[in-house]
Structure 1
Amino acid sequence: CSQCREVNTKSIKLMPIDEKITLPNLAQIADLSSSRLQKSFKKTFTISPQVYQDTVRMRHFKYSLKKGDGVTDTIYSAGFGSISRVYDRNIGMTPKAYRARGAGEVINYACPNSLLGLMIMAATEKGVCSVQFGYNESTLLFPLRTEFPKAKLMVSASQNAPELDAWMKALDQHISQGDPRPDLPLDIRGTAFQIKVWQFLLSIKEGDVLSYGEVAAQVDNPKAARALGTACGKNTIAVLIPCHRVLKSDGGLGGYRWGLERKRTLLDNEKRREQ
């Protein structure tokens, strides 16, 4: 109702970023019981007041790191009480690594053609950090440059990155000829929740599909189907992290970062190979 939204908007305006506020304190400010505020807030914004505050803090934290602010000062100015809390519950990588944005890293990449169209595979010294599909090299390079703006991107030559050349061939054979999905080293970067989701997706066998809700339950967050869909959409390592095997609860394709036609092709090919 409009009154609930007005109360919840007031709660948001009074919610500090740089210090933790408890639900009872916020309820007192809004002149509501804790249970009523919690229920009303979630009904209006689909998330709890605590999750909302943590989201705002994380947005502020990442923005400050990108500007080059100091890690320690940024942690406390964003309202986080310790480095471990930021690392374990939110980013999945150290703040220093996030702020580096690829500084000092060399990323080799190549853009071969595949059954699904032009493909980019990129790798750091740790492993594959990107597999994406598109229609031209510039659009494929854009997300890589966005994610690693300070890294040195180098077009792969076989003599300089023989592993990448072999990995691309293995992935292409998997997509086009049905060879087993290659077990390649991956350099996975994301939030703690995203990494948890992506690691679970690696366990979904070829020919099997799960709904967003089923995957959410498997990662111990059964009410987070929407957030899980977002995590799938943030996956930048196509096929190797098989987010295409996650569907809507009614069996519909749902979404796919690289287009539903590619998702349908992958699923149809996997289904045929299992028959």
Structure 2
Amino acid sequence: MIRDRASPPAEEGIVANMAIPPEAEALAAIRARDVAADGTFVYGVGTTGVCCRPSCPSRAARPERIRLFPDREAAIAAGFRPCRRCDARPVASEPALVRVLEHLRHHADRPVPLAELAALAGWSPAHLQRRFTRAFGCSPKRWQTAWRERRLREGLRDGGGIAAASAGAGYGSGSRLYEQAAERLGMTPGRYARGGAGETIAWAVTDTAVGHALVAATHRGVCFVALGDDPAGLEADLRAEFPAAALVAMPERNRSAFVAWMDAVTTAAAGRPAGAPALDVRGTPFQLRVWELLRTIPPGETWSYTRLATALGLPRGARAVATACAANRIALLIPCHRVVRGDGTLAGYRWGSRRKAALLAAEA
């Protein structure tokens, strides 16, 4: 529901404002506690009267109770008070890091060398890399890429055309945009602007040692693996995940590649090494870092969320790591089941705790 930005905090709904990301994108950033979204908006919770930054570790509110604002001051002016945990400020309120962020935004049309950013901050390149990664969960290069991607998505959704969206996001030329579109959007800019219409995803269901597995893939690789007891329910999950894509049964012309992908899934479900099949993975820069590290955990070994966060250079980021694990949509091939609580207990699993226990037992 749209509310006037000056309405009291007891009223609920999403505020429309051109300076902030689209509602769906903002809510996704809040759910993922995406540090790359810090500084692009803040949100207020109508039931508590508190405002937070996107990456705030506080428990996420229900979407209908959230209001979006372009900055902390706008939220305070509307009657919200800053959260005691995050103060509704970006992780990096330090002037040197703020200067670096502004420089990255203003020079989105080119890769900015780390040495150039370090000189701006007054630090060595290595020190800047450490401080930036600690504050934002990713390198300056990845942060700039994520920021450009967000600008591109906003421009395409606004309906101003691909050329205008490309220029606004700093791509400089249409050819550069199309060269990077598959990586940044998972599809061409035109398809993204039409809500993903035209993207083709092939899928099939197979039996594994832990129940049915639905395997779905684009021409780039596996994009979705779900586990369950009901094939119809798994298909419904796939359609909910990719509502605008054309979903087709495994085509005969791609049969050999698809069979290899399904074999990898059944092998992993049986607790044996499944190799490294091609994946078409889409997520925030922080999620991608977590998922890449998950693929390095060998079968038979478990890591705690704290260990995973520490390996990423974020020793206090266990909760954000757990959120990224929960957002994984490719079971087994991105083995989030190998992450447990610090005391060794299993914690949650998107496809069921019993299934997680069975997978770990098979790998032991």
Could you list the per-position Cα deviations for residues 131-178 of structure 1 after superposition, in whole angstroms to 9, with x for gaps in the alignment? Answer: 1111222321233223322221111155542211122123213322x4
Q: State the secondary structure of the residue aligned to 1:205.
A: coil
Kept after mapping to 1: 8 A contact 2:155/2:164: no
| Residues 169, 175 of structure 1: alpha-carbon distance in 2 compared, 3 angstrom cutoff | same
Going from structure 1 to structure 2, the CA distance change for 1:202 and 1:64 (only over 3 Å counts) comes to same
8 Å Cα contact 1:126/1:186 also seen in 2:
yes
Distance 1:233 1:213, change over 3 A: same
Q: Mapping of 1:223-238 within 5 angstroms?
A: 223-238=316-331
TM-score (norm 1): 0.69
Whether the 8 Å contact between 1:61 and 1:74 is mirrored in structure 2 is yes
Q: In the alignment, which residue of structure 2 is the partner of 1:214?
A: 307
Cα distance per residue 1:226-255 (max 9 Å; x no partner): 121111111011010010111111111111
Pairs within 5 Å for 1:58-207: 82=169, 93-94=184-185, 96=189, 99=193, 101-158=195-252, 160-176=254-270, 178-207=271-300
* TM-fit CA distance, 1:102: 3.7
Q: Which has the higher contact order (CA 8 A, sep 6+)?
A: 1
Q: Deviations over 1:245-270 (max 9, x none)?
A: 11111111111000000111111111
| 2:84 alignment counterpart | 43
Q: 1:11 to 1:124 in 2, by over 3 A?
A: closer
Contact residue 102 and residue 151 of structure 1 kept, 8 A = yes
Structure 1 218/180 Cα, relative in aligned 2: closer, same or farther at 3 Å?
A: same
Q: Which residue of 2 aligns with 1:37?
A: none
**Number of residue pairs matched by the alignment:** 235
1:57-97 per-residue CA deviation (whole Å, 9 max, x = no partner) reads 9999979966867679889xxxxx8558xx9xxxx824947
Matched residue SS, 1:49:
coil
Letter of the 2:260 counterpart: A
C-alpha deviation, 1:183, in angstroms: 1.4
1:187-226: CA deviation from partner (whole Å, max 9, x where unpaired): 0011111111101111111111111111112122222211
TM-score with structure 2 length normalisation?
0.54
Contact 2:306 2:318 in 1 (8 A): yes
| In 2, Cα distance between equivalents of 1:250 and 1:123 | 36
CA 1:49 to 1:121, structure 2 compared with 1: closer, same or farther past 3 Å?
same
Structure 1 unaligned blocks of 5 or more: 31-39, 76-80
Instruction: Please give the alpha-carbon distance, in whole angstroms, between the structure 2 residues aligned to 1:64 and 1:262.
Output: 42
1:245 aligns with 2:349: no
Separation in 2, partners of 1:118, 1:11: 40
Larger helix share, 1 or 2: 1
Q: What secondary structure sits across from 2:90 in the alignment?
A: helix
- Work out whether residues 93 and 191 of structure 1, in 8 Å CA contact, stay in contact via their aligned partners in 2: no
Q: Percent identity?
A: 36
